[in-house]
């Protein structure tokens, strides 16, 4: 049994297949497994909370794990050790979520492209057809992650408290969410995964895209992301498309295309959930 995993900070999708790509179990979803923000004990607990994973762990021969927070050595090693301990018969590979985005969006194995993730967090890399290249190392949600779910959540809360929201949007926002200051501060500063908490507000922008305020907010974030991340690859952009993975990107396709037209890069494919593309990639390359 081969396990292929696509994990963000909010959730992780697990698919079990055989060597021919046939699905052996229904898709399993656990809470996100970000080793850069979660301690070992919590990583173990989130995996073991799945009865299906517990029941089948001895049968697993390979785990291909792609996740947020796996781009640096120590978090990558921590998660690898946790997975090896749980799936004790398996060969474990842990890689950054940017590669999942690459494999799920490119049209063929050796296609070169700039590939972006806009989900709970955000990132961007260049894939030359064989290897991935990054010019900017991500420092996480509190400093970077422009145009991500947590970026938009943060902007919405700021605009609400600074009274920058139109009145109708303000009323809708406080009706949908608990906006008491103590509650927000508790979740931001005393609870784990504040990035995922911030990203939980991002749904709001896609429920109110009839508002000029919301459209401007979406495009402001995308312009920041494009300026700081995509345009690092100015030379590559002359000849390759820019693909996007993640829910934020999927629902902001129109705004991304507008910004791309403004800034002069070519938009390629959009993939909301990379997991299906990963299954095809790995079963074709075992």
Residues 239-284: tens digit of each pLDDT: 999 999 999 999 999 999 999 999 999 999 999 988 878 887 887 7
Lowest-pLDDT range of 58-62, 223-227, 270-274: 270-274
Q: What is the pLDDT of residue 127?
A: 96
Average pLDDT over residues 100-106: 91
Secondary structure of the chain in HEC code, one letter for each residue: CEEEEEECCCEEEEEEECCCCCECCCCEEEECCCCCCCCHHHHHHHHHCCHHHHHHHHHCCEEEEEECCCCCHHHHHHHHHHHHHHCCCCEEEEEEHHHHHHHHHCCCCCCCEEEEEECCCEEEEEECCCCEECCCCCCCCCCCCCCCHHHHHHHHHHHHHCCCCCHHHHHHHHHHCCCCHHHHHHHHHCCCCHHHHHHCCCHHHHHCCCCHHHHHHHHHHHHHHHHHCHHHHCCHHHCCCEEEECHHHHHCHHHHHHHHHHHCCCEEEEECCCHHHHHHHHHHCC
pLDDT in tens, 165-200: 999 999 999 999 999 999 999 999 999 889 989 999
User: Cα–Cα distance between 264 and 128 in angstroms, integer?
Assistant: 20
CA 84 to chain centre: 23
Q: What is the pLDDT of residue 34?
A: 92
Domain 2-100+275-284 has CATH 3.10.310.10: no
pTM of the model: 0.82
Q: What is the pLDDT of residue 84?
A: 97
**Contact partners, residue 85, CB within 8 Å, separation at least 6:** 44
The whole-chain average pLDDT of the chain stands at 93
pLDDT for residue 286 is more than 70: no
φ/ψ bin of 21: left (φ > 0), alpha (ψ from -120 to 50), beta (otherwise): left
């Amino acid at each position: 049994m081969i396990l292929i995993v696509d994990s963000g900070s909010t959730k992780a999708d697990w698919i079990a297949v055989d060597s021919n790509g046939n699905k052996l179990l229904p898709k399993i979803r656990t809470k996100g497994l970000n080793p850069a923000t979660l301690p070992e004990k919590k990583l173990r607990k989130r995996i073991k909370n799945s009865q299906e994973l517990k029941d089948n762990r001895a049968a697993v021969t390979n785990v291909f794990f792609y996740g947020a927070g796996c781009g640096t050595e120590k978090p990558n090693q921590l998660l690898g050790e946790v997975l090896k301990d749980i799936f004790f018969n398996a060969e474990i590979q842990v890689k950054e979520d940017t590669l999942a985005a690459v494999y799920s969006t490119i049209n063929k194995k050796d296609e070169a492209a700039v590939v972006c993730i806009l989900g709970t967090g955000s990132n961007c890399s260049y894939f030359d057809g064989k290897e991935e290249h990054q010019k900017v190392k991500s420092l996480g949600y509190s400093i970077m992650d422009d145009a991500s779910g947590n970026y938009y959540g943060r902007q919405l809360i700021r605009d609400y408290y600074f009274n920058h929201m139109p009145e109708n949007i303000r009323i809708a926002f406080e009706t949908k969410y608990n906006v008491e200051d103590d509650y927000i501060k508790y979740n931001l500063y005393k609870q784990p995964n504040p990035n995922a908490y911030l990203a939980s507000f991002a749904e709001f922008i896609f429920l109110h895209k009839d508002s000029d305020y919301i459209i401007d907010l979406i495009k402001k974030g995308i312009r920041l992301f494009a300026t700081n991340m995509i345009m690092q690859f100015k030379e590559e952009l002359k000849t390759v498309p820019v693909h996007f993975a993640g829910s934020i990107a999927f629902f902001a396709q129109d705004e991304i295309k507008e910004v791309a037209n403004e800034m002069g890069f070519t938009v390629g494919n959009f993939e909301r959930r990379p997991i299906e593309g990963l299954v095809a990639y790995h079963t074709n390359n075992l």
